[in-house]
Amino acid sequence: MAVARQLREKSAETLAPWDITPAHLRALATLARHGTMRLSELSDHLRIAPRTATEVVDALQARDLVRRRADPADRRAILVEVTERGAGTLAEIRATRGTEAGRVFGRLSPAERVDLARILSKLRD
């Protein structure tokens, strides 16, 4: 629990310069990975309520990290996509988080990292 808390705190510190929460980052990364999608699809990917997905997208759109546009196949539906600024911000965050992860996990030997990855994978499944 202490390690999980340390990782959460470090994640929040890392994201602070971009004024992005972990939930915002998950949404931005999901859109970058899967491409443009409807809000309902995003909420399914994130496993959150549609209303919560709307709030997350509102926050990202206010920072010009994503944009909404009408779905050409269904004018009632809205599509969400990552902006150029959003893609750049995501790349910066990933680079910074990689450095932070290196600091946290760099204390482990290569063999210990392999063991940890194996154990965490087993627990995840």
Q: Does residue 24 or residue 4 have the better pLDDT?
A: 24
Residues 34 and 45: beta-carbon distance below 8 Å: yes
Percent of the chain with pLDDT over 90: 74
**CA 117, chain centre distance (Å):** 20
Summarised one tens digit per residue, pLDDT across range 61-97 is 999 999 999 999 998 899 999 999 999 999 999 998 8
pLDDT band at 106 (very low <50, low <70, confident <90, very high): confident
- Tally of structural domains, the chain: 1
What is the DSSP code string of 8-30?
HHHHHHHHGGGT--HHHHHHHHH
Q: Per DSSP, what are the bridge partners of residue 123?
A: none
Residues 64 and 117: their CA atoms lie apart, in Å, by 35
Domain span at residue 52 reads 2-124
Average pLDDT, stretch 101-105?
82
Q: What is the CATH number of the domain that holds 54?
A: 1.10.10.10
Task: Output phi, psi for 13, to 5 deg.
Answer: -65, -40
**CA 84, chain centre distance (Å):** 16
Q: Does residue 102 or residue 79 have the better pLDDT?
A: 79
pLDDT band at 101 (very low <50, low <70, confident <90, very high): confident
